[in-house]
Amino acid sequence: MRGADPYISGHGDLRYAVEHYDLFLTYGLPSNKLDGTAVITARALEPLTQVVLDLRLKPLKVTVEGRRVTRHKHLVGKLTITLAEQVAAGEEFTVTVKFSGNPKPIAKRGQDSAGWEELEDGVIVASQPHGAPSWFPCNDRPSDKATYELTLVTAADYHVEFSGEPVSVRRRGANRIWTFAQTEPISPYLATVQIGRYTVIEQKAVVPLRVVGPANIRRNGFSASFGKQPEMIKLFVDRFGPYPFSGYTAVITDDDLEIPLESASLSTFGRNFASGEWESVRLVAHEMAHQWFGNAVTVAEWKDIWLHEGFACYAEWLWSEESGHQTAAHWANHHHGILAGQSQKAPLSDPGAALMFEDWVYKRGALTLHALRTEVGDEAFFGVLRSWVAANRGGSVTTEQFVAHCSLELGRDLSAWFTPWLDEKPLPPLP
């Protein structure tokens, strides 16, 4: 099956949109056994005789509107449900799926595996861009944003986090029952579960801010990296507008990780990032900035990934400037010099599935923003960023929309100005 997005084959369905996921999960450590029930409230975007969900675990029972479905098939990660009666366009319907299995990351040709993964002692879920079906049935396309409630039961000596606000936690025998809610609409890949032997550090900031990690995580370079989060979020609220979620949590695993992981209202890091080195500090800022650019304002298709990564990369440079490190102009000149010495593989506006997470996409995206800032000045530039988030919070966007937004806000047609940066391979000179 081709799927909803050309970059991710076989994932997503454009014929309906999910409005809400209710997830009830029980997870066993160390057996890695996940049993769950998903209650999915959706709306038909065209007349439906089938509903197709993405799911890699085994479906045990399927009902639609409370009635058991006799015709459904599960093949190559697609759960196809044949409806007893057609659902009209615009009509709301509810699908309930009971499922079970041993979740594992999903491999895709040309891309890293993504999804539910066991740690040395716990769980990490990193679903970007195709890993959500590794642990729950969903309509796995970035443009399908929904609200969530999650209840997860697991061993009492483990701490659980989710991409949403904690609602309750209660003890039941040898287990604890954790409940969370995400009231802002998010894409399936931005929903995460983190399980480990963690403690919670509250940080005083302009929004509720927490660090969740091993008991000894304050050692070494914590204060120079995660300790700076209150100042980082204050800067980003000033530059980008109000924080778009109820709170922000940084989870630090007891394992080292190669890269940090982005999800809605929560970012995940290995303990190796609790360091005062700039390479760690910049990534703490980078993942926080994704809450505005990527998580609140999300691409409709993966080809526009620079609208996430270029903006988060530029936020690194803004924090460097604010914290007395190097200016954004310094980093722009530095990275422009590096890219200028390389062949440009594809246009920024459509880098291709195999290249969409390559470093040049991040850096050229940030360079595009710095060039725009140089062109229009700080007041106009940051005004555009704030109005872009305000206009599209909770929604899905494209590069064309961003160019049109800049043109409208700045009172001039900028499409020709953007073309060399976005749609042509050669790297433009830096203003």
Q: Which of 174, 190, 206 is the last residue in one of the domains?
A: 190
Same domain, 14 and 153: yes
Same domain, 67 and 8: yes
Same domain, 281 and 233: yes
Residue 247 pLDDT greater than 60, yes or no: yes
Residue 311 lies in a domain: yes
Same domain, 116 and 202: no
Give strand pairing partners of 39.
22, 96
Q: Where in the sequence is the domain holding 209, given as residue range(s)?
A: 198-291
What's the CATH number where 175 sits? 2.60.40.1730
Q: How many CB atoms within 10 Å of residue 2?
A: 9
Q: What is the pLDDT of residue 221?
A: 86
Same domain, 282 and 143: no
Q: Which of 291, 313, 336 is the last residue in one of the domains?
A: 291
Question: 246 vs 232, 237, 242, CA distance in Å?
Answer: 17, 13, 11
Q: Which of 173, 190, 207 is the last residue in one of the domains?
A: 190
Q: Are 111 and 354 a contacting pair, CB within 8 Å?
A: yes
Q: What is the pLDDT of residue 2?
A: 63
Same domain, 243 and 303: no
283-306: per-residue pLDDT in tens? 999 999 999 999 999 999 999 999
Choose among 3, 7, 2, 1: nearest CA to 299: 7
Q: What's the rounded Cα separation, in Å, for the pair 148 and 31?
A: 26
Residue 258 lies in a domain: yes
Residue 260 lies in a domain: yes
Q: What's the rounded Cα separation, in Å, for the pair 390 and 385?
A: 9
**Residues 49-53: what's their mean pLDDT?**
96
Same domain, 133 and 30: yes
Give strand pairing partners of 340.
none
What residue type is assigned to position 103 of the chain? P
What's the CATH number where 339 sits? 1.10.390.10
Residue 23 pLDDT greater than 80, yes or no: yes
Residue 180 lies in a domain: yes
Same domain, 4 and 140: yes
Listed in sequence order, the residues at least 6 apart from 250 whose beta carbon sits closer than 8 Å to its beta carbon are 210, 211, 212, 213, 226, 229, 266, 267, 268, 269, 284, 287, 288
Residue 430 lies in a domain: no
Query: Structural domain tally of the chain?
Result: 3
Residue 188 pLDDT greater than 80, yes or no: yes
386-407: per-residue pLDDT in tens? 999 999 999 999 999 999 999 9
Same domain, 33 and 142: yes
Average pLDDT, the chain: 96
Q: What is the pLDDT of residue 68?
A: 77
**Residues 49-76: what's their mean pLDDT?**
92
Q: What is the pLDDT of residue 110?
A: 80
Q: What's the rounded Cα separation, in Å, for the pair 278 and 294?
A: 23
What band does 67 get if pLDDT is binned at 50, 70 and 90?
confident
- Enter the tokens of residue 173: 């025998």
Same domain, 306 and 359: yes
Residue 429 lies in a domain: no
Residue 385 lies in a domain: yes
Same domain, 90 and 176: yes
Q: What's the rounded Cα separation, in Å, for the pair 102 and 163?
A: 21
Q: Are 330 and 318 a contacting pair, CB within 8 Å?
A: no
Q: What's the rounded Cα separation, in Å, for the pair 374 and 333?
A: 12
What band does 44 get if pLDDT is binned at 50, 70 and 90?
very high
Could you tell me the sign of the dihedral formed by the alpha carbons of 386, 290, 54, 107, in that order? Answer: positive
Same domain, 158 and 182: yes
What band does 225 get if pLDDT is binned at 50, 70 and 90?
very high
118-169: per-residue pLDDT in tens? 999 999 999 999 999 999 999 999 999 999 999 999 999 999 999 999 999 9
Q: Are 72 and 59 a contacting pair, CB within 8 Å?
A: yes
Q: How far is CA 239 from the centre of its chain?
A: 21
Residue 83 lies in a domain: yes
Choose among 392, 384, 425: nearest CA to 299: 392
Q: What is the pLDDT of residue 111?
A: 86
Q: What is the pLDDT of residue 3?
A: 79
Q: What is the pLDDT of residue 109?
A: 84
Q: What's the rounded Cα separation, in Å, for the pair 55 and 52?
A: 10
Q: How far is CA 333 from the centre of its chain?
A: 29
Q: What is the pLDDT of residue 327?
A: 98
What band does 226 get if pLDDT is binned at 50, 70 and 90?
very high
Q: What's the rounded Cα separation, in Å, for the pair 232 and 254?
A: 24
